[in-house]
Amino acid sequence: MTTSAPDPALVDKLVLANRILHHQGIVDSFGHVSVRHDKTAGHFLLARNMAPSLVRRADIVTFDLNGTALDAAGRRVYLERFIHAEIYRARTDVNSVVHSHSPSVIPFGVTQQSLRPVFHMSGFLGEGSALFEIRDVAEDTDMLISSGPLGEALAAALGSHSTVLMRGHGSTVVGASVEQAVYRAIYAEVNARLQIQATALGEVTFLNAREAAKAAAVNDTQLPRAWEYWQRAVGPIE
């Protein structure tokens, strides 16, 4: 199968996203970020199986929406590539996906609590987070989204939300761009920390739906400022 080469600037952006998410503490040796191919909507770009902080341009692989690598050339690929494949299939508005096990989010998934916007920076959580319970669709598993059907079930749980919590595992955040998905992954973690702290103090007044929508719209206009800062912090890529 042939496919046009992606825009080199998009590859650079994906490499940077890997480095930024590590620098911001969202991913460690595990977790991954992808972007939809700019020339073929049915393809996406994702690193080979490796720690995000080490990703270079040469490590980016192209996949189709079945999670099949088109140019891996024998390199190992992520077990959970189906998260990305099935979300791109289900959500034509999504152009970037971040999957992580960022720690502050975990308590919400295991207690069936929704992430809700504590402050303006997390307006994208206005409709709350969705929840994926893997036991609803499979017998006792290793918790990983390691097949197309599991990816499809996760995408269904995500629905129209920006964020889906995966009970006992992690979370997946989507965006219309790499910058937006990275922003949301970073602030989902910050919001989780703050929501736990606020809940411990007393009854929490969350942003209401309209406040959240307005805040999210303004924040989206500020993404270049955040990206420039994050990019500078991680330094040059290779």
Whether 80 sits among the annotated catalytic residues: the reply is yes
170/175 with CB nearer Mn ion: 170
Q: Is residue 151 within 8 Å of 85, Cβ to Cβ?
A: yes
**How many Å apart are CA 49 and CA 130, to the nearest integer?**
27
55/121 with CB nearer Mn ion: 55
Q: Is residue 19 within 8 Å of 55, Cβ to Cβ?
A: yes
Q: Is residue 33 within 8 Å of 56, Cβ to Cβ?
A: no
Nearest approach, Cβ of residue 48 and Mn ion (Å) = 16
C-beta pairs of 47-50 under 8 Å, 24+ apart in sequence: 47/14, 47/18, 47/78, 48/72, 48/75, 48/76, 48/77, 48/78, 49/75, 49/76, 49/77, 49/78, 49/79
SS3 220: helix
Q: Which of residues 185-214 bind Mn ion (CB under 5 A)?
A: none
Q: Which of 148, 154, 17, 160 is nearest to 81 (CA)?
A: 148
Nearest approach, Cβ of residue 145 and Mn ion (Å) = 7
Nearest approach, Cβ of residue 38 and Mn ion (Å) = 26
Nearest approach, Cβ of residue 238 and Mn ion (Å) = 26
Q: Which of 80, 86, 179, 189 is catalytic?
A: 80
Q: By rule CB under 5 A, what string of x and - marks binding of each residue 142-171 to Mn ion?
A: ----------------------------x-
13/169 with CB nearer Mn ion: 169
Nearest approach, Cβ of residue 144 and Mn ion (Å) = 6
Measured at CB, which residue is nearest to Mn ion?
170
Size, binding site for Mn ion by CB under 5 A: 1
Q: List the beta bridge partners of residue 165.
A: 131, 171
Q: By rule CB under 5 A, what string of x and - marks binding of each residue 37-56 to Mn ion?
A: --------------------
What are φ and ψ of residue 52, in 5° steps? -55, -35
Taking CA atoms, 181 is separated from 32, 98, 154, 220, in Å, by 12, 6, 17, 11
5/168 with CB nearer Mn ion: 168
101/214 with CB nearer Mn ion: 101
Residues near Mn ion (CB under 5 A): 170
Q: Name the residues annotated as catalytic.
A: 80
